[in-house]
A and B are shown apart, each in its own frame.
Chain A
Amino acid sequence: MTDHPPVEVKVWGDFACFTRPEMKAERVSYPVMTPSAARGLLEAIFWKPEIHWQIRQIEVLKPIQYISIMRNEVNRKASIQSAQQWAKSGGGYFADEDRAQRHTLALYDVAYIIRADVVLAAHATDDVAKYRDQFRRRVTRGQCYHRPYLGCREFAASFSDPDGAERPIDLTCDLGPMLFDLDYTPDRSGRGTPHFFSARLDCGILRIPPEEYRRRMSDATATTS
């Protein structure tokens, strides 16, 4: 898979919040897009059951700037049962009555280039090149399944093919442990275990260690077998 050039997409937006799990009630963003956020972004543009995304690297194109905002967010989670109840006997959810003021330390004016590989699932029969080409066509046309976003749904992302003139910022530093992705339990309960990797910005480029994906692959085969 690495002998093919990765697919690439440039994404940008006014705001972004890649929430750190340790500070998620009062949100604080990671300084750089996380691999799981990049994965979500690519899935918004193109996804099939036959493929999954493997991020190679994320290039940071604009200086890292924080902005502090207060927002009203809700306290409760949506529950399927009560929604079904409303459908039958009326009622609904009034966000105004269930609010909490929460602070967000977000990023603003961000732009990234994501480079990633398409990895075929075990049951896929077609060539991987098919999916890569589909993805590239979709990016060029600006198609997406749902609007991609930068960490939070509120922070919509624009995307396009890179024009080749982009240069990552000149910043090299350790970012500490960063959320890599979640390992979900196979029982479909939605319960997940966050997994972290030691992130490092190298001349504005966050490289995702490929062994993280290999670890997941081997975990997945271990749980299914």
Chain B
Amino acid sequence: MLLQQLRDYSERLELPPPMYLKTPITWLIELDVNGNFRGFVATEGKGGKKDRGKEYLAPHVARSSGVRAKLLADTGEYVLGIAREKSRPERVEECHRAFVDLVRTCAKETNEPSVAAVLRFLESADLKALQLPGDFDPGDVLTFRVDGVMPIDLPSVKNFWASFATGQPDDQSASKPMQCLICGELRPAVKRLPIKIKRIPGGQTSGMAIISANVPAFESYGLEASLIAPTCQDCGERFSKAANELIENEQTHITIGPIVYLFWTKQEHTFSFATLLSSPEPGEVKALMSSAFGGKETAAQLDTMPFYATAFSASGGRVAVREWLDTTVEEAKRNLARYFALQRIVERDGTEGKPLGLYALASSTVRDASKELPPNVPKALLHVALKGGPLPMWLLFQAVKRNRAEQGITRPRAALIKMVLRSQQDSDPMEETMIELDTSNRNPAYLCGRLLALLEAVQRAAIPGANTTITDRFFGTASSAPASVFGRLLRGAQAHLGKLRREKPGTHEALQRKLEEVQAGLTTFPKTLTLEEQGLFSLGYYHQRAADRAAAIAYKQSQQKETA
């Protein structure tokens, strides 16, 4: 499943050579072919503390507390035996010895003159007396350049490292052959996965493992660490590298709150789900919708290519898989088109609405999305966007709760409420309902929402520049228990209407007509509104405000035309 698909995906990538990883290297030690020291070269402009140098593909091993050298490229402690302030000198000595031994083995096996030069340098030069650059830190990673050649780039060195790092006979990390649960072959299983997965929000910067049993309760059948799920070296390295690649690429991931979502397809495909979800362009969305609901021609170009999506979050030092979707590009596209159709709603000024990104929708349910966005909110949205089905009702509850707290409604939240309500119905998603003001809708909750918007308009017209409007004070109550406030609000509005009649008879006329139209549909005010009705109330309010603003703009423009 997930790991197999990631492993398969890695076949399409240009992966670094086995046991090589992108590593920032701060310094190059320049040598000549005889191993004479020429000097240090900084790989990049020293851009302060954050700058750890240019990234190179360099030999890698998973290291924890033990001493394990990386071939030819490692920290100052390993390469030169220079201790950091806090390091124990004996240990650094040991590190350095391990490093030199490794270079010696490599020189012997590969017969590369440049490696031999490095070895000669390490053995003969007085490393303690080297003239170090001023801003040198023993924690920085160094490697060698011999007469313009980087030994770590040599094919023979790469081959040596591939077989050495994976096949050390005394290596604790390999066990007796077990059936690999990814490829199914009988191979030595790794005890700890060689590559970790990085850049998962909230996780450790050094990376985390998917397969791990780091406390006794996670172990099974007397097997420890990664052996609970036997994985061969090659599969383990491949799926981890593929996951890292997906997380790095803009086209294949989105990060929302504590979760990172990854998308990929079985074969090469140009369609980017990630960009459409995170920052949808109106043109792209339109094209998607017309191709998905366009009619017959879509059936011909049925895209049955498998499409995968997964969601990772951090849980301590481990990766938690929050979601796994396995569908086809065709189906995902159709659901995505439905998702965009569902969220169509007018802008606040009544113009046609732009598609909303996943983050905007999700963050409309909370006060501060950077701090308190629950992971389930974007997840539920994403699930519907790719797999279809109804949005959960608790999303509506969250949105309505937010409305009450803010005493008002924003466009993303209006869109979200509409999505929840519409997604419950199994109708044609392209059907044009609830996008803008619907004067034929006789639902009392919807009408109450409209009425509140109109009463607010009356107040605004009568007292321009009022600090606090009736919406600011009564939205919450009006949207949940209309009967308890609307009587009072209507009485209050009479005074404003009277004032308007005297001062702005035109406005009064127009508002009075609208008020009558809405009230005509309302025989009584409902005592309480259910959750769905509260959603409808908000939409009624939002639609009415948008329509009013649109009318005001149109009126202003026609006035300007007349004067011009």
Q: How far is the CA of A76 from the CA of B221 in the complex (A)?
A: 15
- Would you call A182 an interface residue if the criterion is a C-beta within 8 Å of the partner chain's C-beta atoms? yes
Is the CB–CB distance between A75 and B215 below 8 Å? Answer: yes
Closest to B306 in A: A173
Is the CB–CB distance between B323 and A196 below 8 Å? Answer: no
Q: How far is the CA of A62 from the CA of B358 in the complex (A)?
A: 30
- Would you call B179 an interface residue if the criterion is a C-beta within 8 Å of the partner chain's C-beta atoms? yes
Chain B contact patch, size range: 35 or more
Q: Which of A116-124, A133-141, A152-160, A185-193 contacts B (4 or more CB under 8 A)?
A: A185-193
Closest to A191 in B: B222
Q: How far is the CA of A192 from the CA of B316 in the complex (A)?
A: 28
Contacts of A26 in B (CB 8 A): 315, 318-321
Q: How far is the CA of A124 from the CA of B182 in the complex (A)?
A: 39
A105 interface neighbour in B212, B218, B229, B323, Cβ under 8 Å: B323
- Would you call A177 an interface residue if the criterion is a C-beta within 8 Å of the partner chain's C-beta atoms? yes
Contacts of B423 in A (CB 8 A): none
Q: Which of A15-23, A45-53, A82-90, A143-151 contacts B (4 or more CB under 8 A)?
A: A15-23
- Would you call B322 an interface residue if the criterion is a C-beta within 8 Å of the partner chain's C-beta atoms? yes
Contacts of B48 in A (CB 8 A): none
With contacts A75-B215, A191-B223 taken as known, whether A68 is within 8 angstroms of B178 at the C-beta atoms is no
Closest to A77 in B: B216
Closest to B210 in A: A23
A15 to chain B, nearest CB (A): 16
Of the A-B pairs whose beta carbons lie under 8 Å apart in the complex, a sample of 23, sorted by A's number, is A21-B181, A22-B182, A23-B2, A23-B321, A24-B229, A25-B212, A26-B318, A26-B321, A31-B1, A75-B216, A75-B217, A77-B216, A77-B219, A100-B217, A102-B315, A103-B315, A103-B322, A105-B321, A189-B222, A190-B222, A191-B222, A191-B223, A196-B179
Contacts of B320 in A (CB 8 A): 26, 102-103
A6 to chain B, nearest CB (A): 27
Is the CB–CB distance between A24 and B324 below 8 Å? Answer: no
B178 to chain A, nearest CB (A): 6
Contacts of A194 in B (CB 8 A): 178-179, 181, 221, 223, 229-230
Q: How far is the CA of A184 from the CA of B223 in the complex (A)?
A: 12
Closest to A197 in B: B184
Closest to B376 in A: A68
Contacts of A74 in B (CB 8 A): 217
Q: How far is the CA of A191 from the CA of B219 in the complex (A)?
A: 11
- Would you call B211 an interface residue if the criterion is a C-beta within 8 Å of the partner chain's C-beta atoms? yes
Contacts of B319 in A (CB 8 A): 26
Interface mask (B248-273 → A, CB under 8 Å = 1, otherwise 0) = 00000000000000000000000000
Is the CB–CB distance between B215 and A196 below 8 Å? Answer: no
Contacts of B213 in A (CB 8 A): 24-25
- Would you call B220 an interface residue if the criterion is a C-beta within 8 Å of the partner chain's C-beta atoms? yes
Contacts of B318 in A (CB 8 A): 25-26
- Would you call A172 an interface residue if the criterion is a C-beta within 8 Å of the partner chain's C-beta atoms? no
Q: How far is the CA of A68 from the CA of B320 in the complex (A)?
A: 10
The 3 closest A-B CB pairs, nearest first, are A192-B221, A191-B222, A22-B229
Contacts of A182 in B (CB 8 A): 221
Q: How far is the CA of A76 from the CA of B213 in the complex (A)?
A: 12
Interface mask (B219-243 → A, CB under 8 Å = 1, otherwise 0) = 1111100001111000000000000
Contacts of A68 in B (CB 8 A): 322-323, 376, 379
